[in-house]
Amino acid sequence: MKHYSQRAAALIFFLVLAVNLKAQVKPNYYTDYHVHLQDSATVQLGYRMLKAFHLKATKMDSLCFDADTIIGRLDKAKFHSAWIISNAYWFGSPATPVKNEYLEVKKQNDWIAAQAAQYPDRLKAFMSINPLKPYAIKEIERCAVTKRFTGLKLHFANSKVNLFDKAQVKQLQKVFAVANKYKLLLLVHFRNSEKWEGAANTKILLKQILPFAKNTKVVIAHMAGWGGYDRQSDKALRLISAYLHSNKEPGSNLFLDVSAVFPLDENSNHTKSVKRNTTWHQLIALKKQIKKIGTDHIVFGTDWPLIDIGPYIEMLNKNLGEQTTRQILNTRVIAD
């Protein structure tokens, strides 16, 4: 009986130890830094937007995606969290005017906050607006004071931003300043058109706009492009790299996300000239810029529902290598 008791006690000890060890094992804390949700209003407007841009709808364009959808895909990929982005800026786009615009913008921002609130430790809400609208500052402040939002998403292409317009630059300075005031992270789709001068636009961003958000972090989406990779994106990254590593202009709060970069020829309009000129190779140029910038300033993102986590990691592994991909996955951007 004594021998049996000793064996039972030992078994209990090891069971307790195993449970404690299991509790101490932390899940992967990877984050998808670029995720879109879709409610029914977004789906309906999305069809109008696709038509306006002469694009064909896919099955994904007709589906609604909520917080549970995102948590399911995060769990499947063994990811911990995601930045979920409001589609409110769609409702302020000049390409697809809507009735009661500001009301619809508020509805979208409130909806994304409600979705994030279901999983507060895993989903971070990003409000969005067309920064050129008269209500832009008012809406950022309305959302910010609720403390339900981690950041602000700006989409220069969808909002028809022109950085060569001085009045627009002044407005963007105000927007960046109010985001800075409330310590909102900024996620910026920077490229604004097909005919886009990478170097000239980037100079304006770095010199005239970023100084208004010195106390928060800024993530430039799609490696400064808008899908794929071309010469103009490469020119933008050259200046961003120099900015990040300049003693005069420390760039510790500036990051880029790698969402939608692969496949590199995603947008054929941007790659025709590349195919004709065999002296410039997209992947070689991109890898060179990533090395210069450093993976500590590059974060992972999928631009869901464009692609899911697993397939996109496979693309990154194939093109950038597993070591570089792992380093990007480990890069963190956290609100101060």
> Sorting pLDDT into bands at 50, 70 and 90, what band is 54?
confident
CA distance 160 to 158: 6
* Tens-place pLDDT, residues 291-315: 999 999 999 999 999 999 999 999 9
Whether 177 contacts 148, CB under 8 Å: no
Q: In the 3-class helix/strand/coil scheme, how is 6-60 assigned residue by residue?
A: HHHHHHHHHHHHHHHHHHHCCCCCCEEEEEECECHHHHHHHHHHHHHCCCCCCHH
* Tens-place pLDDT, residues 21-44: 333 334 578 999 999 999 999 989
> What distance lies between CA 51 and its chain's CA centroid?
25
CA distance 171 to 241: 26
> Sorting pLDDT into bands at 50, 70 and 90, what band is 286?
very high
CB within 8 Å of 205: residues ≥ 6 apart = 163, 190
**Residue 268 pLDDT greater than 90, yes or no:** no
Q: Is the pTM of this model over 0.85?
A: yes
Q: Which residue type does 231 have?
A: R
**Residue 246 pLDDT greater than 50, yes or no:** yes
184: left (phi over 0), alpha (psi -120 to 50) or beta: beta
Q: What is the dihedral of CA 192, 193, 197, 199, to 10 degrees?
A: 30
Quick one: tokens of 305?
Answer: 């529902």
Whether 87 contacts 108, CB under 8 Å: yes
Q: What is the mean pLDDT of residues 67-74?
A: 97
pLDDT of residue 57: 84
- Locus of tokens 């195993």: 18
**Residue 2 pLDDT greater than 90, yes or no:** no
CA distance 253 to 89: 24
Quick one: tokens of 98?
Answer: 């809507």
170 or 16: whose pLDDT is higher? 170
Domain locations in the chain? Answer: 30-329
pLDDT of residue 58: 86
Mean pLDDT of the chain: 89
CA distance 124 to 217: 15
* Tens-place pLDDT, residues 79-132: 999 999 999 999 999 999 999 999 999 999 999 999 999 999 999 999 999 999
CATH code, 30-329: 3.20.20.140
| Percent of the chain predicted with pLDDT > 90 | 76
Which range is least confidently modeled, 1-15, 37-51, 142-156? 1-15
Closest CA to 87 of 62, 113, 120: 113
CA distance 182 to 255: 19
pLDDT of residue 267: 58
Quick one: tokens of 255?
Answer: 């990051």
pLDDT of residue 259: 98
